[in-house]
Structure 1
Amino acid sequence: MLPNLTIPFALLLGTALWSVSAFAGEIDFNREIRPILSENCFYCHGQDPNHREADLRLDVRQDALDYGAFEPGDAEASVLIERVLSDDPDMLMPPPDANRTLTDAEKALLRQWVDEGAEYQQHWAFVAPVRPAVPSVTDPQWARNAIDFFVLSKLEENGWQPSPPAERATLIKRLYADMLGLPPTPEEVDQFVHNDDPGAYDALVERLLASPHYGERMALPWLDAARYADSNGFQQDGDTWQWMWRDWVVDAINEDMPFDQFTIEQLAGDLLPDATTDQKIASGFNRNHLLNGEGGAIAEEQRFNILFDRIDTTTTNWLGLTVACAQCHDHKYDPISQKDYYRLLDAFNRVPENGRPQRFSSRIRVGNPVLELPTAENKERISEFQANIAAAKKELDPLMDAAYEGWRLGLGSGQDLAQDESLPESLRTKLEKPKGKRSEEEKQAIEKEWRSYFQRSARDELAQKTEPGRRVTKIENQLAGYRGDQIPRPMVMSDDKPRDTHVLDRGAYLSPLEKVTFDTPAFLPPLPDDAPKNRLGFARWLMADTHPLTARVQVNRMWQHSFGMGIVKTSEDFGVQSEFPVHQDLLDWMAVEFRASGWSRKHVHRLIVTSSTYRQSSRMTEKHRTEDIENRLIARATRIRMPSMVLRDWALASAGLLDDRIGGHPVYPYQPDAVWEALAITKERDFTYPASTGGDLYRRSLYTFWRRTVAPTNMFDASDRQACRVRAAATITPLHALTTLNDPTWIEAARVLAGNCLVEADELRSQLQSAFESIACRTATDSELRRLEDAYQKQFEGFRADPAAAIEFLDVGKTSRDTTLAPVQHAAMTAVCLAIFNLDESLTRE
């Protein structure tokens, strides 16, 4: 029998990093054992009965005991330990062909756990958070708020020290990048760097929280999570009006709408009593899905695809769980049954939709239900159309009257018109009564019907043969086209079409099994008895104080925004396969604080950015590099390559090009020629890219039209917006540099910035300093300026040798270049500004 072992946590491969329990003492099931069982055992010995081997279930203690898997307190007599330690491939668990292998450290942990009694715990994330006590630390002066006490306590526990604070220029750039996604001006940097007021930092935070650009920056990850786009996807890829929902999100964040209200309006705004237009627009969160309008698509199949996507998106966003596999079978790891999945789906299975988009114009294809929301401009234009139609009809009416009289005279009095089946039935019914016995009202009714019948039958002929008729037809067609193409119709939710919901055999929509009605997953707190059994009840249930997941999931995403990684790394998955969080106490404290603050996201964001933890330097020491490369202990700030959307906005703002209008229709900035050409496989629709002009070319990236089939080419590493994504991917490929060095946006921004610098200062060094400060948000050192001067001279010599190249370089972009500037000098400075844009420091939030 192996002795109980004290195992250094650095050796525990496969278990949570930075596990700090004393393994010579009692093992923590959630921290040390569940990750081993979940990764290696639950797939075959978990809750899914259809995939369970040997009828052994290891995720429930009593089931494992009943089976005889282990003897609590006696590892030597336990079959589980015998199998994991076996050298016999026929006995070994996990089996060799399972592609799962336990390390020696993991085997020793299991053995120690059984010897200690093999106790189980409920998964930590499925237990409602309780506010833990703020820990004591040896250096309380370092801590500015509760976050710091939790972080410093863990650092001290592991023999670490926090990093020194970042330089003030770094801090202001960090804040602007995280909170606005825009650079501070050189003047703002200078004022902050030289401000000795102890409250200057907090005052800056408050100013940024109050900025209307705060909502724009903070909306970006929410749009990724909601899979927001401006088109449907698939072959036809019709345009939509979902930008009205996007604007609602920006406004709600700027107003610091409490997150419970933010949740309820997006999941069930249409079901609120006397729902406002804005609340109905908010429900468009669950209408941001793809819509397949291809000819071979089966409408009902597509409707179920939308439903499945709706459930996945909602559960990922609020529960932080991956439930998609329960569409076909019980979840193999988390306690989510297939029945749970379809009970939840029932609340979303009442939308009067058929799974396919309706065509409102050659460009617009959206699926009912929609809101028709004409703007003031729309109403004015419609009135103009209607006035023009009325004017043309004044000319047409006499012609119609004359034609009508001629038509009536040619009818003939002897014909039995009541039997003429070519006439409308309503008219024939009126004509059955003899002419002499008709009352005056009946005569007027017949006359009205005659005229209506004639107008319907003769209109097309007159429209073709007369100029007024052709003009009326043309304007009416223009009006119909305008209504279809220009009147916003955002897609929203509705429960106007209740349906029966069934568990589907293997998720196949044509194979219904048991009928189910709405309920919440059985392993989470129950839905209150008086709660409505619909999306509104579901949304309110998510925000209950007893709910274990919602608040944790949200504050974890806020932490991820500021530190590049959540306290729980898998921000999309808080289930049993997620890691045990190093800072669980901090996560729980923040979750409870979030609720107690009235669900104020600005409050939580303020706590994060005003903490000493956030203000640390991001410089890495050898200890950081070798012992905590992922910064799980948060012993430093994290360097984060800014998202491509932010990098584009940063370049525009640095040059003074940014058009900072808030909200509105999507815009079409620079894209490669014929970028949408591959979509034009039929003549049904023109897929020419409608490039913007004027200020629309320089709107924030948030407002760029997002086509699902061909996303904006200069927004690398962005979500494709085809599915929910709550954790951004950061890659490094040459395509990124090719974008930031060659895309017209960056070249034009460099050229405009260069011109500004040349105009503002006469001396080269001052010009270069100004350019550097505008982009990097700090003063360049003498050494850096010398290198920039060398770069300028090399570029100057190159362009002096080829003046035509200088002119060509300066002609990139739609803004007119300053012709008072010498082209060679301007081009050389432009090349240097472009190089500064591409410095690692410029691309990175430190």
Structure 2
Amino acid sequence: MTLAGPASAAPAPISYNRDIRPILSENCFYCHGQDGNQRKADLQLNTLKGQRADGNIIPGKPDESRLIQRILSDDADELMPPPDSHRTLTQSQKDLIIEWVAQGAPFENHWAFEAPTRPAVPTDISGPIRNEIDRFVLAKLREHHLQPSPEADRSTLLRRVTLDLTGLPPTLDELNAFLADTSPDAYEKVVDRLLQSPHYGERMALPWLDAARYADSNGFQQDGDTFQWIWRDWVVKALNADMPFDQFSIEQLAGDLLPNPTNDQKIATAFNRNHLINGEGGAIAEEQRNVILFDRVDVTSTTWLGLTVACAQCHDHKYDPITHRDYFSLMAAFNNVSETGRAGGGGSRIRSAPPLLELKTPEFDLGLAALKQKTADAITAAEPDWESQRNQLQLKWEDQILASTDPLEENWKRLIEAARDTKPNTYAGGRVRVEFDSVRLPKLKGHDPIKRIVAAKLAEETFAKDELPRVMIMDEKQPRETHVLDRGDYLSPTEKVTINTPAFLPPLPADAPKNRLGIAQWLFLPEHPLTARVQVNRMWQHFFGTGLVKTSEDLGVQSEVPIHQDLLDWLAVEFRDNGWRIKPLHRLIVTSHTYRQSSRITPQQLEHDRDNRLMARASRLRLPSMILRDLALSASGLLNPQLNGKPVYPYQPEGIWDGLAITKERDFTYPQSTGSDLYRRSLYTFWRRTVAPANMFDASTRQICNVKPSLTNTPLHALTTLNDPTWVEASRVLAANLIRQTADTDIRLTLAWQHCISREPTTADLSRLRQMLDRQLEHFQSDPSAAKKLLTVGATPTSPELDASHHAAWTSVCLAILNLDAALTRE
């Protein structure tokens, strides 16, 4: 049989990683790849040895290679992929494989599994160049006969970089100052200012919280609260301080194992205690502990290695060279934590699970002291024998229960009997006492002094249990053996394993500690191929919407080969060799011409690079809902810029938690915040895993590790940004500010536009806004009740000195501006 490859006078060299591996990975590796249990006919095509074995591929001889014969066969029993696999090679793919074999079938290891080296920066490049990033991008654009875009206008550029680095829009003073600054480094000065802003850490914390599956509760039906916000504050503080990424990571993975660890280093380890905890009655503790361990391995691997390892929990990975044994060798590093798999106890709401770090804050001490004083005052005002009287009241109630025939009291009757037994049950006695003090005593007539004392003591006890911060951290106090689990079943242990790293990656150094600290340090070996690449790819994703590798969660064999691989490797080496400093790399990216380009798309770009993978223009992105909420608050002047602290409870739909069992058992309803806490940044919103904030569309569920944001555009978004109290109230407050500021309509409209969009409106924009204002004014003047209703949305008092119809009309205009595409989008 003579084979004809693709028609070409001089075939271009074929890259195995770029051209061939994706075809084989998609169509062949499932049955002929890494997983030995799944492998058919003992044929392995993902390795050089397997390709060369038994004449599967004979370099330079496609007509003699079994692989080629099988993909070209007319016999359904011989054809590969087989028809029942529902996979088919196109003719162009077959031609490409044939030509690759004809060229000698050169094999390459997967590009991401080779340590990055610093590529030479292109020098023979012309065009707008501000740093090395532009040279790489321009070289690739030249290959594809595309031109870069000009720089964006100054207003757009300021809004873009301010939102990207702080998550807030520029203020009018900042906008005017930048527009007036004609110095050559005006933009660079803005960047330096933003990098030093305390709001930088808040913005950069958001994707890290998604990766860490951070929330303020455990999850599941019995969704108790935690104090993990203390770790959230640690993240913001570390990012603001530009803590080197290796230190940032090592402290989170193993801060407790560092010499003489500080409280901050212990708090950092809460990264791996942000998992769900199943406290439901039917949950088996050891099973749940293993579920937590699986989650920990997956989160660590996704966050730092950029690999999907979960399938290796049950069998060898089907694509990447991660074995079943590798998975459990890595899991062994996390198996010595003194956790049980159970949700911990606490007060009425808290369900933190040990190990815990107690942190008495000044706020806690003051609050507890005030409650103790209230108890002391109540005791002073009561009769000296108040405690004896209280005990007599409880005994009288107990006797009534024991004599009762009410079936609803049977449970309490049994508990009272157990408490009064010759060998009293202390648990039963405690339950009876709590029931009497908190439920039965308040219903008795009279006895007010005793009621006040008991209520004060209960408040003191509840505060001590619920408000003393106890952050869940890691420790190494429960040595355990780790075994490979057959099919991932915790009840089916097989061979014993010790702590180790996947064999295809650099080995754990011989002198490295055999614990979490050793694993954390291993991630930052100079020869490690993944850690730096993974992080700079996600930085690129943050600033451009898509990473240089689109699959930012997976740089394994199934990932795409990056178009800008040289740029990715250069950035990775730059990051690593510059001491893993995050802020300098962010500065490098946002000061490049590539970042500063206009986002306007040309017909040529639309035809040849619709998705902007070549970077001939800036990316245009819908802002995340958390940023949109902060933008509305900032534009109105309502935003409370306070950093850190306990979660707050901004506006949510009424009864949002009513479906949870916790509301029935512990009367736990949504405690909406008041005052300035209503207007804190979205970062500080209380995040209940079972019912996430209703106005945070497209946000991560915070139940699993998520390193790739979801950006969609649906009518549900508009329902939020047009009707949610935050946006309506922000528009109302902004309108009131404008009315007080000036009587000139055009100036008001211009200011409103600048607050929300950070640039001046065009003449056409002003014309449309005036038309809308006139229509809205006519509507509210004819329907005063509608105006009154609109002006009562939100907690901010309505301004009585303002004409209601005018105020309502301006509110509608401001709300419309906040809902314009230009306001919702980062251009």
Pick aligned residue for 2:179 from 178, 189, 193? 193
Q: Which residues of structure 2 form unaligned runs of 5+? A: 390-420, 425-429
SS at match of 2:358: coil
Q: Structure 1 CA distance, aligned partners of 2:451 and 2:813?
A: 61
Number of the residue aligned with 1:76: 63
Number of the residue aligned with 2:469: 488
Pick aligned residue for 1:510 from 474, 478, 491? 491
Number of the residue aligned with 1:590: 571
Q: Structure 1 CA distance, aligned partners of 2:28 and 2:208?
A: 35
Deviation at 1:680, TM superposition (A): 4.0
Q: Structure 1 CA distance, aligned partners of 2:602 and 2:119?
A: 32
Deviation at 1:196, TM superposition (A): 1.4
Q: Structure 2 CA distance, aligned partners of 1:2 and 1:783?
A: 65
Number of the residue aligned with 1:838: 819
Cα 1:399–1:762 shift into 2, 3 Å:
closer
Q: Structure 2 CA distance, aligned partners of 1:187 and 1:596?
A: 38
Number of the residue aligned with 1:205: 191
Pick aligned residue for 1:821 from 797, 802, 807? 802
The amino acid across from 2:777 in the alignment is F
Q: Is the 8 A contact 1:667 1:697 kept in 2?
A: yes
SS at match of 1:536: helix
The residue correspondences of 1:194-593 to structure 2 (distance < 5 A) are 194-386=180-372, 474-593=455-574
Q: Is the 8 A contact 2:662 2:668 kept in 1?
A: no
Q: Is the 8 A contact 1:5 1:23 kept in 2?
A: no
Q: Structure 2 CA distance, aligned partners of 1:640 and 1:422?
A: 72
Pick aligned residue for 2:758 from 777, 789, 798? 777
Deviation at 1:273, TM superposition (A): 1.0
> Greater shift after overlay, 471-480 or 805-814?
471-480
Q: Is the 8 A contact 2:663 2:669 kept in 1?
A: no
Q: TM-score, normalised by structure 1?
A: 0.89
Q: Structure 2 CA distance, aligned partners of 1:533 and 1:760?
A: 66
Number of the residue aligned with 2:400: none
SS at match of 1:303: helix
SS at match of 2:63: helix
Q: Structure 2 CA distance, aligned partners of 1:786 and 1:390?
A: 68
Q: TM-score, normalised by structure 2?
A: 0.91
CA deviations over 1:96-137 (Å, ceiling 9, x no partner): 221222222211111111111212111111111111111123
Q: Structure 2 CA distance, aligned partners of 1:602 and 1:401?
A: 62
SS at match of 1:677: coil
Q: Is the 8 A contact 1:4 1:24 kept in 2?
A: no
The amino acid across from 2:28 in the alignment is C
Number of the residue aligned with 2:166: 180
SS at match of 2:494: strand
Deviation at 1:399, TM superposition (A): 5.6
Is structure 2 residue 711 aligned with structure 1 residue 725? no
Deviation at 1:388, TM superposition (A): 6.0
Is structure 2 residue 117 aligned with structure 1 residue 133? no
Q: Structure 2 CA distance, aligned partners of 1:478 and 1:810?
A: 38
Q: Which residues of structure 1 form unaligned runs of 5+? A: 8-21, 404-420, 425-455
Q: Structure 1 CA distance, aligned partners of 2:182 and 2:388?
A: 89
Cα 1:480–1:737 shift into 2, 3 Å:
same
Misfit runs of 4+, over 6 Å: 390-398, 400-403, 421-424, 462-472
The amino acid across from 2:770 in the alignment is E
SS at match of 1:820: coil
The amino acid across from 2:714 in the alignment is T
Pick aligned residue for 1:150 from 113, 136, 147? 136
Q: Structure 2 CA distance, aligned partners of 1:504 and 1:85?
A: 41
The amino acid across from 1:126 in the alignment is F
CA deviations over 1:783-812 (Å, ceiling 9, x no partner): 110011111111111111111101111111
Deviation at 1:391, TM superposition (A): 7.3
Cα 1:212–1:423 shift into 2, 3 Å:
closer
Deviation at 1:386, TM superposition (A): 4.7
CA deviations over 1:698-718 (Å, ceiling 9, x no partner): 000000000111110111000
Cα 1:100–1:23 shift into 2, 3 Å:
farther
Number of the residue aligned with 1:58: 45
Q: Is the 8 A contact 1:46 1:59 kept in 2?
A: yes
Number of the residue aligned with 1:406: none
The amino acid across from 1:274 in the alignment is N
Q: Structure 2 CA distance, aligned partners of 1:565 and 1:63?
A: 35
Q: Structure 1 CA distance, aligned partners of 2:566 and 2:760?
A: 40
Q: Structure 2 CA distance, aligned partners of 1:401 and 1:621?
A: 83
The amino acid across from 2:790 in the alignment is F
Cα 1:749–1:387 shift into 2, 3 Å:
closer
Cα 1:828–1:123 shift into 2, 3 Å:
same
Q: Structure 1 CA distance, aligned partners of 2:229 and 2:449?
A: 39
Deviation at 1:90, TM superposition (A): 2.2
Deviation at 1:825, TM superposition (A): 1.0
Q: Structure 1 CA distance, aligned partners of 2:10 and 2:462?
A: 73
The amino acid across from 1:116 in the alignment is Q
Is structure 2 residue 148 aligned with structure 1 residue 162? yes
Cα 1:389–1:173 shift into 2, 3 Å:
closer
Deviation at 1:186, TM superposition (A): 2.2
Q: Structure 2 CA distance, aligned partners of 1:6 and 1:134?
A: 35
The residue correspondences of 1:551-700 to structure 2 (distance < 5 A) are 551-680=532-661, 683-700=664-681
Number of the residue aligned with 1:94: 81
Q: Structure 2 CA distance, aligned partners of 1:116 and 1:734?
A: 53
Q: Structure 1 CA distance, aligned partners of 2:219 and 2:4?
A: 60
SS at match of 2:30: helix
Q: Is the 8 A contact 1:520 1:538 kept in 2?
A: yes
Deviation at 1:599, TM superposition (A): 0.8
Number of the residue aligned with 1:451: none
Q: Is the 8 A contact 2:119 2:566 kept in 1?
A: yes
Q: Is the 8 A contact 1:648 1:701 kept in 2?
A: yes
Q: Structure 1 CA distance, aligned partners of 2:784 and 2:373?
A: 57
SS at match of 1:358: coil
Q: Structure 1 CA distance, aligned partners of 2:423 and 2:382?
A: 24
Q: Is the 8 A contact 1:136 1:153 kept in 2?
A: no
Q: Structure 1 CA distance, aligned partners of 2:75 and 2:607?
A: 37
Q: Structure 2 CA distance, aligned partners of 1:636 and 1:684?
A: 56
Deviation at 1:401, TM superposition (A): 13
Q: Is the 8 A contact 2:146 2:605 kept in 1?
A: no
Cα 1:827–1:4 shift into 2, 3 Å:
same
Q: Is the 8 A contact 1:572 1:727 kept in 2?
A: yes
Cα 1:810–1:470 shift into 2, 3 Å:
closer
Cα 1:793–1:473 shift into 2, 3 Å:
closer
Q: Which has the larger radius of gyration?
A: 1
SS at match of 2:575: helix
Number of the residue aligned with 1:105: 92
Q: Is the 8 A contact 2:563 2:614 kept in 1?
A: yes
Q: Is the 8 A contact 1:128 1:549 kept in 2?
A: yes
Q: Is the 8 A contact 1:137 1:152 kept in 2?
A: no
Q: Structure 1 CA distance, aligned partners of 2:654 and 2:663?
A: 19
Q: Is the 8 A contact 1:373 1:487 kept in 2?
A: yes
SS at match of 2:320: coil
Deviation at 1:191, TM superposition (A): 2.2
